[in-house]
Structures are given as structure tokens and as C-alpha cells.
Amino acid sequence: MCNTLHFPSPLRDVNAFEKRKQVGKGTYGSVYLGADKVTGDIVALKRINTEQEENGFPITALREVKILKALNHPNIVVLREIVTSKDQGELPKNVFMVFEYLEYDLTGIIESREIRYNQDHIKSWTYQLLSGVHYMHVNKILHRDLKASNLLVNRKGELKIADLGLARSWNKDMRSLTKKVITLWYRPPELLLGNSQYSSKIDMWSVGCIVAEMFRRTGFLKGKSETEQLDLIFHAAGHPTADGWPDVETTCPDWVKLKPKELLPRKIAEKLRASPLPNPAWITPNAVDLVDKLLILNPKERMDAHAALDAEYFFEKPYMKEASKLNMNFTVKSIHEWEARMEQEKRMEARRAQEATMRNGGARPRPPPR
């Protein structure tokens, strides 16, 4: 197979777009808000740095383009075109993927305290996420990096799955796949226990973590290392048992080394309902049941997307609303994870500067009179 990528001709030049501001940072380049200079259409420009790659073009980007061109679903982000810089030799120095632009990502929504979303949003976005995941799985595609920041939302209330850089085609006969996929907080136990012959159920664990995160407005299992992540999983979902996961020792080689003498019980419901919560009433028994079935340790028993779309949670009051029926009058007009992190860093820097001023003899605020 030839390692050099030859683009079909002609490709538009990136100067056809006005780059307005950076809104994100992806695996292989920055993401910018842009506008088509002719039509005025607002787009997201994802830069692919070809100069850092030995073969000239990241394999993950090639895979993402190929997969996105093959998929067509209302809950998967649309890749409109590929554009390049003018300085083209055999391979352009700068290549941009041009996507439809969505004003929010789910992490930005969850972490922005100025945005008030409710159970209507959670239910609709969960259903939309499952619809997109089901479509991918039916078409034998694993996403392998589902997380809140990779889920985009527009002002119409539509949720779309993005960033398919780690996605790949899959079939059940594949014997060895890389275990270093899925961001740690959303990584399922089979990957953490060394399973390299996994299935589409790895994405379903991620979906369960995302749904729990929406309810709690914070990450559900927030480990800082693989060891800590496993510990958090076991304290929430219990340890694997012979009844619940009979082939764990043969499919997950690291479990033999980690198996404790005393097994922890399953406590997903308690962990999901643990305070503080924005609104405990949102987490109904049917909501708990859905998350619980998505976070089953044994991937063979874990709920798939097709079954999840038929969960009782979507048929209880308040009934699931279509995107167009959601109240999207948020006070924040646009927010993404990268922007939220930048704002958070600015606030922290200001706080540290204020504390430093006070330590160096600056005036301290006087307490109010009693």
C-alpha cells in the first residue's frame, strides 16, 4: 500500500474561509470557527498538521475522513469538504477538515454554571446519542473515544457525535485491537484489564458514563490513572464474579493479578444518586436502570444501543422531546470544552495573583461590622 496521500483535484484553498477564533484543540491540530467568504456559512475548521507525520498525513485523520464520508446520520457531525493551503507540493503543508459548526459541546454545557438545562435536555440528548451510536454499530464502526467533549450540540437542540479520529471499522473475528483507546474517565473495565479482543460494547460503557455525567453535572468516574480508574469502577460496579462475568480470567489477563480476596458489591444506584445533585428527582428508577445496564462489567451482558433506545426511561413522564421542542434559550450563546478550560485558567490565574498580592502586604478585605 502506498503511504503517500494524493488528493483529488481541485480542492478549495483555506483562504476561501475567514478564520475568526480558535474554539478547540484536537488530536492532530487546532479547531477554528470560520466563515465562508462567499456564502457567509459558519463552519468549524479542523487543522491537520502534516509536517509532524513521518508519512506526511496522520493515519487517524485518514481514517476519520474515510469513515465520515461513509456515514450519514442526523446525530453524526457532517464533514463538508477538505481544503488546503496554497503552498502545495506533493502533499499540502496545511490541510483542514471543514465541518458544520455547532455552538456547544456537552462538556461546555455541563461545566458552564450559567447554562441551565433540565431533564428534557438529558432525555433527548441521551436518545440522540444512542441513535447515533446505534447507527455506527449497525454499520460496524466503533467510535472508541465517546466522551462529553466529543458530543456537539447546536442551538436547535440537536446533538451530534464528533471526533472520529480513533474510530475504526470492526467485525467480531478481529483478534487483536489496541487497548489504548477511550479517554480514561469513559474507558470500560475490559480495556483496563487487558482485553484486546473487544466489541462495540466498549462504546456503550462510555455512553453510560456520559448519561451519568449529565445527571450529576460532573464526571462520574474521574480517575487520574488506570489503577485509580479501575478502583473507582470496582467501588461503583462491584468486582467481577464467576456468575456475572464467567470468562473474565480468559478474556482479561490482568484480572488474575488484581483479583482481591474480598469482592466489592455493586453500588451503581447509590453512586449515581450520591449528593450533591442538581435535581435528585430527575434520577428516576428507570433512569437508574438505564445507567445500570450500560455500566455492567461483563461486556457480553452490557446493554447495546438498540435495546437502550427501547428503555422504559424514554417512555415515562416527562416524555422524551424531539430536539426542536427543547428550550435552547441559554444565556451563553456558545461554549466548548477548550474555551471553558481557558476561562477557568484565567480565573485561577487571577485568584493566584490576588492571593500573592495579599501575601505581599496588600490590603485584606475587612470583615463586615457585627
d(CA 164, CA 187): 16
Selection from 312, 327, 231, 235 nearest residue 272 by Cα: 235
3-state SS assignment for residue 365: coil
Burial of residue 75 (number of CB atoms within 10 Å: 0-12, 13-18, 19+): buried
Which DSSP letter does residue 184 get?
A: G
C-alpha cell at 326: 427543547
C-alpha cell at 355: 492571593
Task: Determine phi and psi for 83, rounding to 5 degrees.
Answer: -125, 160
Give the strand order in the sheet containing 29-36. Answer: 17-26, 29-36, 42-49, 94-100, 79-84
**Annotated catalytic residue 145:** yes
Residue given cell 478481529 in the structure block? 174
Q: CB-based contacts of 79: which residues, under 8 Å, 6+ apart?
A: 65, 68, 69, 97, 98, 99
Residue given cell 469513515 in the structure block? 67
Catalytic residue, chosen from 36, 87, 105, 145, is 145
3-state SS assignment for residue 314: helix
d(CA 235, CA 274): 13
d(CA 139, CA 367): 64
The packing angle between helices 119-138 and 201-216, to 10°, is 170
Catalytic residues: 145
